Amino acid sequence: MESASIAAGGHAGEHHGPPEANQSSRVEAQFLGMLLFIISEIMLFGAFFTAYFFIRVVGDGGWFPMDGDELPKLIAGVNTAILISSSFTMHWALEGARNENRAALRTGMLTTLLLGATFLCVQINEYVHVGFAPADSAQGSIFYGLTGLHGAHVFIGLTLLTFATVRAYRGHFTAKEHRGVEVPGIYWHFVDVMWVVVYTTIYIL
Amino acid sequence: MLNPLRSEQEAFRFLIYVVVVVAVIVAVVLVARAL
């Protein structure tokens, strides 16, 4: 069919299909998309942090421990270590992809996924045992609000990592083409950075 | 210049810097409170 149309239409080297996408930015589209997305995420977290600091600095209700409720600093600290470790395994996976080391890529992706899932499970377990509800106080609301917002991001990150892990096991990604690992990786590091800030402000300070 | 949104490599390095800076700030605040 195609050869017939070429024969009938004339030019053999003619371009078929949709025209190539115009790229007006020097930044690659995938990175630009993630950049804009992360900027919007920072604004979203900023809104929650504004509420947190308002309650803590302007309000006179104090902060935890209050009314017999205490935040589990130690467990959340271990959870922080788990999440930061997952950034290292993510980096390991990407280096694996860069060096065509399939075993490192697959093991790194899978370990990152498992560490992230562990973080989320510990977080859910914390909600079950923490002893107060979001409706109990403004402090409770912002505690669940900020940690829950972050938890939702971990969930999204895990979804992205699942795609990348399945692709890694299917033999995708090469030294030249590994954006499917790199872009979720940037998001995952962002989620980790955000947790470091959330953990230190809510639990430590 | 370091741009954590340009590549995973830089995002990872940024994470390390954030962890270090936050740890220092927390340490300073906790020490100042204890004094």
Task: Confirm or reject contact between B30 and chain A (CB < 8 A).
Answer: yes
Confidence of residue A13 (pLDDT cuts 50, 70, 90): low
pLDDT of residue A69: 86
**CA nearest neighbour of A186 among B13, B17, B23:** B13
Mean pLDDT of chain A: 90
Cα A92 to Cα A131: distance, rounded to the nearest angstrom? 38
CATH no. for residue A86? 1.20.120.80
With bands split at pLDDT 50, 70 and 90, how would you rate the model's confidence at A2? Answer: very low
Question: CB B4 to CB A87 under 8 A?
Answer: no
Q: How many CB atoms within 10 Å of residue A52?
A: 21
- B17-35: per-residue pLDDT in tens? 999 999 999 899 889 988 8
Domain ranges of chain B: 1-35
Tell me if chain A has a CB within 8 Å of the CB of B22.
yes
In a domain, A47, yes or no: yes
Among B15, B17, B20, most A C-beta atoms within 10 A, so best to mutate, is B15
Q: Name which of A27, A84, A182 is nearest B8 (Cβ-Cβ).
A: A182
Predicted ipTM of the assembly? 0.82
pLDDT digits (tens, 9 = 90+) for A71-98: 999 999 999 999 999 999 999 999 999 9
Q: Assess whether pLDDT exceeds 90 at residue A126.
A: yes
Which residues, including other chains, have CB under 8 Å from residue A129's CB and lie 6 or more apart?
A72
Instruction: Find the closest chain A residue to B33 by CA distance.
Output: A205
Cα angle value A71/A159/A103 (rounded, 5°): 105
Q: Nearest by CB to B5, which of A91, A186, A196?
A: A186
A173 contacts in B (CB within 8 Å)?
A: none
* Nearest CA among B27, B15, B31, B8 for reference residue A105: B8
Total domains in the fold of chain A: 1
The whole domain housing A198 covers 38-55+72-204
Q: What's the rounded Cα separation, in Å, for the pair A105 and A23?
A: 30
**pLDDT band at residue A129 under the 50/70/90 scheme:** very high
Least confident of A28-42, A125-139, A154-168, A173-187: A28-42
